[in-house]
Structure 1
Amino acid sequence: MRDGIYVGQAGIDGAENGGWLLGHFMPPGLDVRHSAEVEVKWGVHPAGDTRAEWVTGERRTALLVLVSGRFHVELRDRTVVLTRPGDYVVWGPGVDHSWLAPEPAVVLTVRWPSVAGYKVAAN
């Protein structure tokens, strides 16, 4: 990073941080990718990939956009199936959710604000 500008590659940078490119979890200080206002994730999911547990008590708003493949966003009262590049879903605070990739998929997720405490513990 130089002069408040960071140039990267989502697949490489995301792989180093669980897909996350921007948010509160990036190094504070001079790293322009650090933000308490918004989080951005480049999610690369192999076929059969699923979230290990539901997100409950959600305090953020999220936008999830399908880049490629097929992706299911599980909500308590329905499943949203994203099938075409550009399909997206938005949900707000209080909406419990999970997800699964029935086939290889790439999704871009934007959440706001950037809040700690939603990471699934490693097994």
Structure 2
Amino acid sequence: MTVYVGNAGTDAPAERGWLLGHFKPPGGPLHSTDVEIKWGVHPAGDRRAAWATGETRTALLLLISGLFTLEFRDREVTLSRQGDYVVWGPGEDHSWHVPRDAVVLTVRWPSVPGWRLPADSAAG
């Protein structure tokens, strides 16, 4: 395996924040069908353009800084302290909004092609 050294802030914009997953070039250290990792930098007022529905993966979203609210059909969860996180499984429709500038790390597994917003919409 090749060693890759990078910076999330520099590398993330190239793939809508996603650093690792099935969508990276096969054979490289960033390609994985097991897991996807995203570095999300969101300004206050940012909002997911559409609900994610029909999801088949499990996800973990970890707050690095700021304030980030996840919306599920039956409740909202606001992450406010560094290190707060939420995990949800397949079939949990979700969206999000950002009350205060936030940085989050998202991990999804497995890494499989799935639901995606159009390229001109807000990433999520």
TM interval, short-chain normalised: over 0.9
Counterpart-to-counterpart distance in 2, 1:20 and 1:122: 14
Q: In structure 2, which of residues 5, 12, 15 is the aligned counterpart of residue 7 of structure 1? A: 5
TM-score (norm 1): 0.94
> What is the root-mean-square deviation of aligned Cα atoms in Å?
0.9
Alignment partners' CA distance in 2, 1:109 and 1:52: 17
- TM-score, normalised to structure 2, is 0.93
* 2:102 is the counterpart of 1:105: yes
Deviation at 1:95, TM superposition (A): 0.6
Report deviation, 1:116.
1.0
Q: Which aligned pairs between 1:45-56 and structure 2 lie closer than 5 A? A: 45-56=42-53
Q: 1:11-30, aligned counterparts within 5 Å?
A: 11-29=9-27
Letter in structure 1 aligned against 2:116: K
1:101 partner letter: V
Superposed displacement of residue 27, structure 1: 1.0
Deviation at 1:16, TM superposition (A): 1.4
Instruction: Give the corresponding residue for 1:94.
Output: 91
- The answer on whether the counterparts of 2:54 and 2:115 sit within 8 Å (CA) in structure 1 is no
Note the residue ranges of structure 2 that are not aligned, 5 or more in a row. Answer: none
Q: Secondary structure at the match of 1:101?
A: strand
Deviation for aligned residue 1:15: 1.5
Runs of 4+ in 1 over 2 A off after TM superposition: none
Q: What is the DSSP-based 3-state SS (H/G/I as helix, E as strand, rest coil) of the residue aligned with 1:12? A: helix
Count of aligned pairs: 120
Hey, what's the Cα distance between the residues in 2 that align with 1:99 and 1:25? 23
Higher strand share: 2
Offset from partner CA, 1:12-70 (integer Å, 9 cap, x none): 000111111100111112x1100011000000001111111111111000000000000
Gaps (5+ residues) in structure 1?
Answer: none
Letter in 1 for 2:86: V
Structure 1 residue 117: Cα displacement: 2.4
Question: In 2, Cα distance between the equivalents of 1:23 and 1:109?
Answer: 12
Identity, in percent, stands at: 65
